[in-house]
Amino acid sequence: MLSRSATTILLDIGNVIVDVDFTTFCTKVAAETRNVDAIFRKYCAGNLKERLDKGMIAPAAFLEQMAADPLLRKESVHEIKDAWQSVFSLKESALKGIERLQRGNHVWVMSDTDPLHFTALLNGFPVLRTMEQFYLSFEHGFLKNSPEAFMHVMQTSGSKPDELLLVDDKPENCLACRKAGIESILFTDWNDMQARPDIC
């Protein structure tokens, strides 16, 4: 149980609102089956993806690098972009859960994401367009595993720590949030969320 009721919820997207399936992307674009794991490590996790998510690499350059990589099949940048943007599916009960959160709280999105993914998410999942504000790593340059990401939210919004609550699926993000003085909930599923009278 939280020590107080939050007025603003910072809601993650990946594995909270939508499921993310990078394996499908890697399998679709791989030149050979044995390349799938290498593509995942190179483009879906690690330093390169982190730099993309922090806005340090232009999306066009990222796509062009993949198009020239022998790990991938010979495809156009447009085809690779379509595959990269087709990794999401709505989580079960997410719409109902978000609607309940919005009844008693301000709900803002806070996500580590890149411009290509965020465009696909906005176009594919209208529920995101009901959010009041967006704090996106590619725009402000901080990932949520850093307390600076949460300091940025407070500094730009004028919010106090006890007015915010993070809902996120990654323990390291919840830890960084708490270091900034903000409470957090480690997300498991929407049934668990809706059973919490302190936020729903």
Does a structural domain hold residue 3? no
Does a structural domain hold residue 161? yes
Instruction: Find how far residue 5's CA is from the centre of its chain.
Output: 24
- Confidence band, pLDDT 50/70/90 cuts, at residue 56: very high
CA within 13 Å, CB half, 159? 23
Shared-domain flag, residues 64 and 125: no
What gap in Å lies between CA 170 and CA 109, rounded to an integer? 15
Rg from Cα positions in the chain: 18
Shared-domain flag, residues 157 and 172: yes
Mean pLDDT over residues 125-152, rounded? 98
Of how many residues is the chain composed?
200
- What pLDDT digit, counting tens, does each position of 6-30 carry? 689 999 999 999 999 999 999 999 9
83's tokens? 């595959």
What gap in Å lies between CA 65 and CA 69, rounded to an integer? 6
Is the pLDDT reported for residue 1 higher than 70?
no
What gap in Å lies between CA 110 and CA 16, rounded to an integer? 11
81's tokens? 């972009």
Count of domains forming the chain:
2
Lowest mean pLDDT among 60-69, 97-106, 110-119, 146-155: 97-106
Shared-domain flag, residues 30 and 122: no
- What pLDDT digit, counting tens, does each position of 77-123 carry? 999 999 999 999 999 999 999 999 999 899 999 999 999 999 999 99
Shared-domain flag, residues 137 and 160: yes
Does a structural domain hold residue 109? yes
Shared-domain flag, residues 63 and 140: no
Domain extent for 163: 8-19+90-194
